[in-house]
Amino acid sequence: AMAAKATEPEPFDDDEDLEPLEGSLKNLLEQKSLKWIFVGGKGGVGKTTTSCSLAVALAKVRKSVLIISTDPAHNLSDAFKQKIGKTSTKLNGFDNLYAMEIDPKLDIDVSGMDLSLGENKVSTDMLSSIPGIDEAMSFAELMKQVQQMDYEVIVFDTAPTGHTLRLLTFPKVLQQTFGKINDLKQKLGGLLTQFAGLLQQSGTTPDQLFDKIESAKKTIDVVNRQFQDPDATTFVCVAIPEFLSLFETERLVQALAKHEIDTHNIVVNQIHFLDKDCADCKKCQARWKMQKKYLDQIDELYEDFHVAKCPLLENEVRGKTGLEQFGKLLTTPRPE
């Protein structure tokens, strides 16, 4: 009887009439529990436009919104047409929307965090030989800053795909690294006490050093829990209807699944929908035919995603008005 039960199909397994999910990002405006929204994809697909427009739309429904760019090509300043720095800057024309641009190398000065032990190179070298420790500390520092800032929702405009995943998977990697540091501490206990004399001159004891690392680890653990909580964190993949971008999106979706980070929204930009102007244009028609092929694949691959399809526009999206208009496009389903 058990076996028969197991092979019985799910009641609506094959139900062709299931409503497809609404093709817009409106769900992100409605999910009030969200605290972190990452926006990422291959270079040149409209990530910054998407993340800025989403932030503008969110600012209408949430108490306070911060948009952070980790892309070295700092495009936020261009999108909002105002200078944005390393600290949170209020955006002109908004009461509750702020932006900051940070370096993906996360080079918040690590020595400023008293990791450098004065004259004593030995311990500094020992510590810095742990792979990624400086990045780790800076990431912890960045996250600490961000958490203290008390914005209701934070949008990350991430650097092209590779970096993003490093940033998001950082907490996991760090947990391993910090584990190693603790082993090291146990193994080198005696040795560290011998260093203590040297360290004394620089006013930092080995224990203080490990406390620093411990406190960074705590921040990282908190962040890791938040990143893996679908109520708090989600990732929006941005693509264009072309092979490479589709390929990259699939890689991204797989990687996010592997690290247990929620993603259920895809934005497809620069779609060459045909209108009456295109009737006699061979180029438009050819382009649409090619894009349509990829759009169909996207619909098929991502039926459990909200896929927002945005038309190729006649001008660049910049400044408050442009971003508001694009925000509307993103959050209103396109009439079929």
Q: What is the pLDDT along the chain (336 residues), one digit of tens a residue?
A: 545 444 444 454 555 556 778 999 999 999 999 999 999 888 889 999 999 999 999 999 999 999 998 776 778 999 999 999 888 999 999 999 999 988 655 444 444 444 444 444 444 555 555 555 565 666 666 777 777 788 999 998 886 655 566 666 666 666 676 677 677 777 776 666 666 666 555 555 666 767 777 777 777 778 778 888 999 999 999 999 999 999 999 999 998 998 889 999 999 999 999 998 888 899 999 999 999 999 999 999 999 999 999 999 999 999 999 999 999 999 999 887
C-alpha pair distances (Å), 272 with each of 13, 54, 305, 314, 322: 34, 22, 22, 11, 19
Side-chain half-sphere CA neighbours of 254 within 13 A: 7
pLDDT at 184: 72
Q: Could you tell me if 157 and 79 are in contact, meaning their C-beta atoms sit under 8 angstroms apart?
A: no
Q: Could you tell me if 25 and 267 are in contact, meaning their C-beta atoms sit under 8 angstroms apart?
A: yes
pLDDT at 273: 94
pLDDT at 121: 45
pLDDT at 24: 96
C-alpha dihedral (47, 51, 56, 59), degrees to nearest 10:
180
Q: For residue 215, give the DSSP letter.
A: H
pLDDT at 289: 96
Whether residue 71 lies in the annotated active site: yes
222 contact partners, CB below 8 Å, separation of at least 6:
147
pLDDT at 205: 61
Choosing from 13, 15, 17, 71, the catalytic residue is 71
- Does the pTM surpass 0.85? The reply is no
C-alpha pair distances (Å), 190 with each of 76, 177, 194, 197: 50, 21, 7, 12
